Chain A
């Protein structure tokens, strides 16, 4: 079982949080902070597994994370998940984001957290892995987006297109936030 999926940046700002068990908002924030502290103090070239923080079940759970450019992707899982499998899953997740957003960078996640949630929902459901095939995920996500578009008149689509093209790409933090998460050639 996956207990939680967290994405935060190098400064600990949450970019997405998905908890598959209920916690209060305060606890959730504490877990994010705790996890950030555990993960961020680790060097780049150490292993990607560590025991979970006290708040999210302690040593019964494992944190499995990957660090891409400015973002940490952290999965908190219990013993039934394969460590290396989850690492692969994170990679699939990021690659899927990359396909859906075209050269995904932190900025995309900041402004379209709802879309990221929708993509994630096609991969993991209720803490269990639903689909690992990237093409299948993208097909389903695209089909739903298409449906969404078809529900609106041309008026709306104009509006939506406007609002989509607007955000951030001209912002102050452009350089930092627009580092593509995926380097073209991955090991």
Chain B
């Protein structure tokens, strides 16, 4: 054995190691590839040997070759071998190689699972470390699923070195195996407070990365992060946290308010530029989120802008760049404060650094006004001329167009100037943005009617000089503008001075070199021009010859297009050719045709908004995915896809997508044909080769003689006469404005004379010209784009469905269900069934402690509940201080948790149910209307509101803004009060009504109309009668019906209305109603009564009579439904005797009975949903056949909801629990399936309510 090792090592001495390989490659500069291929052969030999040292050496060399671009995946198995070596040296080599070249589709990866697991649990921390590092690069969904538990265990490793790596890699595990996020999250959260700064930093890193994608799920961590931010000194951690806050503030404006002060402090105190910059960035984000409806934080904005100016003025280009970047963020919400630094930004436009110029360009966008637009664009045009790189020039071009076209051409006062700018831009060589310019031309010409005459004239000149542009025929090249030019000239040909010459320009043979889609437009618009020419000339009969000549011109030139390889061109051309031939015939017979020809193109095209098609609502009952006919066979459908669809040439959006494909195909085909022909010609000895310049394209055409010789006028000056330079307009505009100003001044003077004193003050302001003073050159009517009539307002851009982070949008505040508390462990195959952790039999076998644990978990949960309960009691006793302290820690449960979770393998139970309210509380130092609980409490118990508010203030952290809080508070409460009162009144009315009905007949027919009122449903169709009174108990003497309603007056009360009906023909008296109290629910008895005494029903029942009595129960937790046992005792008195009887019953307090119908305005509703405090859940009901309004009415009636809004087959509903929980439903229906998405700040309650709704519908 020893001999073997020595032999192996001697062998190795003669092998090349990595250094030899590198040196060898460097010495074979001329034949590097050949040298490397011999090396690879050597490596292959080495890999065949048994000696692991040799193998490791070979793998090490392969890693180097991989960097040079050689595929080494063939050695994947050998890499796995080296990875599994017991020696750290080799292991490290193996893992490095694996991390460089393994990926998800490497099949040997599945062999590594056990090896990695072994390494993860190795006693040597570096074995573990190396395995974690490697795994972080090549983790697959399978590996993530199989190893998640092992890694989770490592998160609590004794060595911080392992802990931090384990924490970091969890992010990768979450990405690949989203199911692990919820179980692992509590522990990850713990690591935020790890004693080791490295581990802490890693945890911050991971959570920030997670939160960046789905910020709303991490809002509840804000207090914890806030604490870290104010305590940490590690700049890396601070930067991460501050960046995270930047992502969270848009979701919770109150958070932003809280942040501003500590952030400003940091800005003032830190010396680290990186930290300063991130602070400024987050302050900006805060300001953006506050900008709506909040008083100006002008001081903070000023501070930011001022700091950024310092950055921009710094000699360090990096700071300059970042300063500009951050400025552009401020620009969006506070353009005024940025505009004052215009000088600085314009200066940056001249910077030698392109990155900085680009950033400055971004800023220009927000700096323009009517006044300075021309000036700024002029400056940019100068830059366009100077720019060397095409990228930068293209960027300038798009920026110019962006700036000019922004907010519906808001800043353009003179469209002639803009058209000239566009025309000037067409002179750019090699730009990729021809299409952009073209679409601008079209847009302006179509939407600004006043400019058409001018635009048409300009376009005609462009067409006339088309040869200047056609040098570049590449896609999106500048020749695209000819597309626009031709169309504008054709469509608005009535404005053309000389349509005939334009027509002639459009039919030049050179046109045939343009891309097909442009030719097609040329042909079509030639026909339009033809119509115009005819109409213009038929009026004057003397010119009949001209008309006939025009026809002849078309007949002469069109055959060129008829031969086009492009289908669209060919088809249009041959159609029009035949048409013109027919017209010519008519003309020869002296028939007036102009009118009929014009009629072909009659009617105006209106601009249609780009999204218009998408916004057309799908009519109810139309399923777009359903087959109309039986689906055709595979091959057929493929053919169909290839067939050219009906193209709308003039709808720019569509044509953009379809056209390039045709040209590509054409070019390819042409090239192929050309090749074939060339080969033919080369082989043909009799073929006389043409000079290269001759027009090859037409060579095989039939009608060569038809092609007229075109005189190319080379002396056409670049500056075409009649093509105005945009500069001219700048001057003109200035003059015009001067004049306007003068006029105004005159008027002002007049006014001043009239008004005397008042005028004098104005003198001071008239210095700088204000925006309103500038009037557009000519009245411009910008037509808005058309939208379908009942377009849906939704403007949401769909997210990328392939985004891996979408799967991580998981609610982390929901407490873990039992089944979730452990991760599924070890499966051999990606088996769908095994993914469900509950059924994972194998997993249970492998980790038996986990199974044991789950029982314990239940206990924990119970404890939890108890704790909650006791908390609520505390609340009642108004021990607010204590509570506040707990909440400030935001981890009030943490100590208890660690007590419970002495076993490492199981994650601690999540106790986050309270967290949302914790967050509210934490943020509530400045109460905002959206704080639900606070508001509810304040209004419901006015007497209690003052101490509550005061205590809320008392626990406010030192950095709060108490004054502001006080400012907002009184308004809030009072307005809430009013609303509340109204609500109450309404509610009471409703109740009265209800009562009336009930007294008359239990199965009230009026219930229908009541629910209509509830749900605001205005349907003609009568609703089926409904009643909430359910049978409670019945015997031969008496029948009890009951209805359970929450009590509005007092927070935790439920009122049970019982209708007693005497069924026998005897007299019933001395009824006593008694209920066995539970811990949670108690019957309210009169003072002095014992806890087991019954309540006397205050009436007697003659035969056949019914009456109603009410009983009040106090309830503590409303999360779960309750059942209470009770007995009714009574005496049945007949004429001769009386007997004691009793009737047992069970009162069922459903969760629904804790809900109170509360109307909600849609804006408040939206705010509530946005607040992010609510947890979601959903429900699907199949086979519900009743009409939607019945369904809504049912939910309203049986479950005490009110409809907030209803749109089509979708409705939002709202209700509130007696303890102030908000319950929001979104009910949607589509053919017999009803889906209910629900949100509530108490997930337990919500779950039960949903179950009850489900039950309701399963019964009917």
Contact = CB atoms under 8 A, between A and B. Distances in A.
B1134 interface: no
A155 to B, nearest CB: 7
B318 A84 contact: yes
B1080 interface: no
Nearest to B244: A80
A152 B6 CA distance: 12
A117 B96 contact: yes
B192 to A, nearest CB: 15
B19 A14 contact: no
A111 interface: yes
B96 A118 contact: yes
Most buried by B among A16, A80, A118: A80
A45 to B, nearest CB: 7
B322 A128 contact: no
Contact of A46 (B161, B208, B278, B317): B317
A80 B171 CA distance: 14
Interface string A42-73: 01011111110000000000000000000000
A155 B2 CA distance: 13
Given A82-B243, A82-B278, A140-B161, A17 B93 contact: no
B355 A46 contact: yes
Contact of A1 (B87, B132, B209): B209
A1 B206 CA distance: 10
A77 to B, nearest CB: 12
Nearest to A168: B23
B273 interface: yes
Interface in B340-394: 352-356
A10 interface: no
Nearest to A173: B26
A151 B353 contact: no
Contacts of A111: 18-19, 22-23
B257 interface: no
Contact of B165 (A83, A125, A152, A159): A125
Contact of B13 (A17, A51, A82, A159): A159
Given A111-B22, A126-B169, A14 B318 contact: no
B509 interface: no
B481 interface: no
Contacts of A125: 132-133, 136, 165, 168-169
Interface in B121-140: 124, 126, 129-130, 132-133, 136-137, 139
Contact of A163 (B17, B71, B130, B198): B17
Given A111-B19, A126-B137, A132-B236, A47 B171 contact: no
A117 B87 CA distance: 18
A97 B356 CA distance: 31
A47 B274 contact: no
A49 B172 contact: no
A14 B274 contact: no
Contacts of A136: 198
Contact of A50 (B63, B66, B68, B355): B355
Contact of B317 (A47, A85, A144, A148): A47
B88 interface: yes
A126 B124 CA distance: 21
A151 B355 contact: no
A138 interface: no
A114 B60 contact: yes
Contacts of A144: 88, 92, 126
Interface in A95-117: 110-111, 113-114, 117
Contact of B126 (A20, A83, A147): A147
B212 interface: yes
A137 to B, nearest CB: 11
Contact of A118 (B92, B172, B355): B92
A104 to B, nearest CB: 16
Contacts of B63: 113-114, 117
Given A125-B132, A126-B172, A166 B19 contact: yes
Contact of A130 (B130, B168, B321, B356): B168
B1180 to A, nearest CB: 36
A121 B133 contact: yes
Given A87-B318, A166-B19, A130 B89 contact: no
A43 to B, nearest CB: 7
Contacts of A24: 71
Contacts of B212: 80
B168 A25 contact: no
A129 B208 CA distance: 12
Nearest to A26: B69
Nearest to A45: B317
Interface residues of A, number: 60
A129 B205 contact: yes
A92 to B, nearest CB: 10
Contacts of B69: 25-26, 28-29
Contacts of B130: 121
Nearest to A145: B89
Interface string B82-114: 000001110011001000100110000000000
Contacts of B354: 46
Interface string A161-184: 001101110010000000000000
Contacts of A80: 208-209, 212, 243
A29 B67 CA distance: 8
B67 A14 contact: yes
Interface in B212-263: 212, 235-236, 239, 243
B26 A171 contact: yes
Contact of A131 (B132, B198, B206): B198
Nearest to B237: A132
A148 to B, nearest CB: 5
Interface in B261-275: 273-274
B88 A151 contact: yes
A136 B172 CA distance: 24
A110 B209 CA distance: 34
Nearest to A110: B22
Contacts of A43: 352-353
B318 A47 contact: yes
Interface in B18-38: 18-19, 22-23, 26
Contacts of A128: 168, 171, 202, 205-206, 209
B60 A126 contact: no
B690 to A, nearest CB: 41
B168 A126 contact: yes
A149 to B, nearest CB: 9
A157 B116 CA distance: 28
A47 B273 contact: no
A114 to B, nearest CB: 6
Most buried by B among A1, A16, A25, A156: A25
A72 to B, nearest CB: 15
A84 B67 contact: no
A22 B277 CA distance: 32
B318 A49 contact: yes
A121 to B, nearest CB: 5
Contacts of B169: 125-126
Contacts of B88: 144, 147-148, 151
Contact of B274 (A85, A110, A167): A85
Most buried by B among A110, A121, A151, A167: A121
B67 A16 contact: yes
Nearest to A82: B239
Interface string B309-326: 000000001101110000
A20 B137 contact: yes
24 contacts: A1-B209, A18-B100, A25-B71, A46-B353, A47-B353, A47-B355, A80-B208, A80-B243, A82-B243, A82-B278, A83-B318, A84-B318, A85-B239, A113-B63, A113-B67, A125-B132, A125-B168, A128-B171, A128-B202, A132-B236, A148-B89, A148-B92, A151-B89, A164-B19
Given A26-B69, A28-B69, A167-B23, 4 more contacts: A25-B70, A83-B274, A130-B198, A132-B236
Pick the 3 closest A-B CB pairs, nearest first.
Answer: A126-B136, A84-B274, A47-B317
